[in-house]
């Protein structure tokens, strides 16, 4: 059994506009067709997900756009409903992206321990760091950084060049003139200041 992303070749693109789409949610339509690409031995089932073009540019990556809609095409031998196929594919893709991020930015593939207990502790610390960063993005990051990787956050936010000054004896952090993201930094700082810690035991 398989579900894989399909390339939107010219024959596939030609079929998209003529399909009968079924609305399955808000701004979400599905359709399907059978097609035998050149070189394949038999026709396969293609599932199509159609949505309006999103305003956030990063959300448009890897999606085919046509006439105000984005199209995601999957090829599968599963007999599930198109929406179920799409959800299964996305869940698996998100898990793969998380694993890739943990390996690339959190050194998950460089476990420094030899024994099981040490390895488990290292793994739990990596997951804790990932969860903390996820909550930071959810609560404090501007919209443009909601999907940012750790590498991007380091480059644009965490490693901001600055120096600590004390005008009139008051500690003041001054960003370097060459820092290219001052508005992003200040916006994030304002969002951090608005976050209210959860109350402990219901006490203020």
Mean pLDDT for all residues in the chain: 86
- Residue 200 has a pLDDT of 43
Q: Does residue 201 lie in a domain region?
A: no
Report yes or no on 199 lying in a domain: no
Q: Is the dihedral of CA 61, 62, 66, 71 positive or negative?
A: negative
Classify residue 22: in a domain, yes or no: yes
Closest alpha carbon to 153 in 105, 97, 99: 105
**Among 30-34, 138-142, 194-198, which range has the highest average pLDDT?**
30-34
Of the three residues 30, 62, 95, the one that is the final residue of a domain is: 95
Query: What pLDDT does 156 receive?
Result: 94
**How does residue 54 score in pLDDT terms, banded at 50, 70 and 90?**
low
- Answer yes or no: do 119 and 177 share one domain: no
Domain assignment present for 101: no
CA atoms within 13 A of residue 158's CA, in its CB half-sphere? 12
**Domain extent at residue 155:** 143-194
Considering the domain architecture, whether residues 9 and 61 belong to the same structural domain is answered as yes
Answer yes or no: do 80 and 14 share one domain: yes
- pTM, two decimal places: 0.56
| Alpha-carbon distance values, 68 to 53, 96, 166 (Å) | 6, 29, 54
Q: Are residues 7 and 90 in the same domain?
A: yes
Our count of domains for the chain comes to 3
What percent of the chain has pLDDT above 90? 55
The pLDDT of residue 100 is 80
pLDDT tens per residue, range 70-110: 999 999 999 999 999 999 998 887 777 788 888 888 888 78
pLDDT (0 to 100) of residue 202: 52
* Bridge partners, 174 (sequence order): 163
DSSP, collapsed to helix, strand or coil, labels residue 165 as: strand
* Burial class of residue 29 (count of CB atoms within 10 Å of its CB; 0-12, 13-18, 19+): buried
Q: What are the Cα distances from residue 93, in Å, to 3, 56, 100?
A: 11, 20, 10
Each residue's pLDDT tens digit, 107-147: 887 877 777 778 888 888 988 999 999 999 999 999 999 98
Give which of 179, 186, 141 is closest to 162, Cα–Cα.
179
pLDDT in tens, 140-173: 999 999 988 899 999 999 999 999 999 888 998 8
Does residue 79 share a domain with residue 14?
A: yes
Q: How far apart are CA 102 and CA 126, in angstroms?
A: 8
Average pLDDT over residues 30-42: 94
């Amino acid at each position: 059994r398989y579900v894989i992303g399909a390339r939107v070749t010219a024959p596939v693109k030609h079929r998209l506009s003529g399909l009968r789409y079924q609305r399955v949610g808000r701004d979400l339509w599905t359709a399907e067709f059978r097609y035998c690409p050149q070189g394949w031995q038999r026709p396969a089932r293609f599932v199509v997900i159609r949505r309006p073009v999103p305003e956030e540019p990063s959300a448009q990556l890897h999606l085919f756009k046509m006439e105000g809609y984005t199209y995601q095409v999957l090829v599968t031998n599963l007999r599930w409903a198109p929406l179920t196929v799409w959800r299964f594919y996305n869940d698996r893709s998100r898990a793969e992206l998380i694993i890739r991020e943990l390996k690339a930015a959190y050194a998950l593939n460089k476990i420094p321990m030899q024994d099981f207990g040490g390895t488990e502790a290292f793994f739990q610390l990596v997951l804790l760091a990932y969860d903390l960063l996820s909550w930071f993005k959810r609560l404090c990051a501007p919209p443009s950084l909601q999907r940012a990787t750790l590498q991007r956050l380091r480059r644009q936010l965490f490693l901001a060049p600055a120096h600590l000054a004390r005008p009139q004896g008051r500690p003041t952090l001054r960003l370097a003139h060459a820092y290219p993201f001052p508005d992003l930094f200040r916006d994030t700082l304002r969002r951090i200041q608005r976050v209210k810690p959860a109350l402990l035991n219901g006490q203020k």
